[in-house]
């Protein structure tokens, strides 16, 4: 909006305008939105409230003529620019042409910003999903350089922000040289053969000193052409599961030992007294 000298009436017009939402076809902005064409109002004071929505306030603010210009990108209206002037003017299509030319790159810029916003929202949702998975997850490129991870894996490596892992190699992390060599050999095997390593179990000491059993998998990542471009790794702490399995195994062995070494006979019956 083009403003002339400040006045209370102008402030009221602006404040009221900021509260309005124009449906397609309603008011100057709505009509321009629907037609995707500029519209020139030689004298807004002659417009009804239904046609302009702010006629009385516009008159009080001293506005006479108006111009609506659509901001278009790829055939879609993204916004409408409305210019109000304090003198009554006949259609000046040279001015319209100039303003449309200025607005054209604005449409592409707005579309780019919207695309960036959509990508950020999708990335944010993906990050939310990854960080709520209890498994540790990471992924690497073809050179075994980390390209991302979830929060569980980052914290296991002493990294406060998952973004900070990008560009690191296993030798940059708190592993021994032997461990890093082993991880790189696994990576090489997966990416050269295209065959995943699944459900491998290993015993590890964490950074905080805890000793845990972990089950890990490494899966090749392929592009649209089927070429291996990296790998996805998952790690799950199975310590509690291993403890339960070991306790069950020991209980079974104890029961079997008692049964096999009993001097007297032992038998088991059902509720129906059958042996």
pTM of the model: 0.58
Can you tell me whether residue 119 is helix, strand or coil?
helix
- Show Cβ contacts of residue 171 under 8 Å, excluding neighbours closer than 6 positions: 177, 180
CA distances from 143 to 95, 96, 147, 169 (A): 57, 55, 10, 9
User: 8-127: which CATH architecture?
Assistant: 2-Layer Sandwich (3.30)
Q: Identify the helix (H) or strand (E) that includes residue 50.
A: helix 49-52
pLDDT tens-digit profile, the chain (275 residues): 444 445 788 888 888 888 888 888 888 889 999 999 999 988 887 777 766 778 888 888 888 888 999 998 888 899 999 888 888 778 888 888 898 888 888 888 888 888 899 888 888 888 888 888 889 999 999 999 999 999 999 999 999 999 999 999 999 999 899 999 999 999 999 999 999 999 999 998 888 888 899 999 999 999 999 999 999 999 999 988 888 877 787 777 777 777 677 655 555 555 565 55
Q: Identify the helix (H) or strand (E) that includes residue 126.
A: helix 93-131
Task: Round the CA-based radius of gyration of the chain to a whole number and report it.
Answer: 35
Q: Which of 214, 260, 213, 263 is nearest to 234 (CA)?
A: 214
- CATH fold for the domain made of 133-258: Beta-Lactamase (3.30.450)
Q: What is the separation, in whole angstroms, between the first and last Cα of the chain?
A: 94
User: 224, exposed or middle or buried, with CB in 10 Å at 0-12, 13-18, 19+?
Assistant: exposed
Cβ count within 10 A of residue 226 = 7
Q: Where in the chain is the domain with CATH 3.30.450.20?
A: 133-258
d(CA 150, CA 139): 9
Q: Where in the chain is the domain with CATH 3.30.450.40?
A: 8-127
């Amino acid at each position: 909006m083009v403003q002339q000298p400040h006045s209370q009436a102008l402030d009221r017009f602006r404040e009221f305008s900021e509260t309005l939402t124009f449906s397609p076809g309603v008011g100057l902005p709505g009509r321009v939105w629907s037609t995707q064409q500029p519209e020139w109002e030689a004298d807004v004071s002659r417009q009804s409230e239904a046609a302009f929505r702010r006629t009385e306030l516009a008159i009080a603010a001293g506005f006479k003529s108006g111009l609506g210009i659509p901001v278009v990108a790829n055939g879609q209206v993204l916004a409408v620019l409305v210019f109000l002037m304090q003198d009554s003017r006949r259609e000046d299509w040279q001015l319209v042409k100039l303003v449309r030319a200025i607005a054209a790159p604005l449409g592409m810029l707005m579309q780019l910003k919207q695309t960036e916003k959509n990508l950020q929202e999708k990335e944010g949702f993906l990050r939310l999903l990854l960080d709520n998975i209890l498994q540790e997850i990471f992924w690497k490129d073809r050179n075994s350089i980390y390209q991302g991870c979830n929060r569980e894996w980052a914290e296991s490596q002493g990294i406060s922000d998952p973004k900070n892992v990008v560009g690191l190699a296993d030798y940059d992390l708190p592993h021994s040289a032997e461990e890093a060599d082993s991880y790189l050999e696994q990576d090489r095997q997966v990416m050269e053969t295209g065959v995943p390593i699944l459900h491998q179990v290993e015993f590890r000491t964490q950074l905080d000193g805890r000793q845990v059993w972990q089950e890990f998998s490494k899966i090749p990542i392929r592009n649209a052409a089927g070429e291996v471009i990296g790998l996805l790794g998952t790690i799950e702490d199975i310590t509690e599961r291993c403890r339960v399995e070991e306790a069950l195994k020991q209980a079974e062995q104890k029961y079997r030992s008692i049964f096999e070494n009993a001097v007297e006979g032992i038998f088991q019956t059902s509720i129906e007294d059958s042996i």
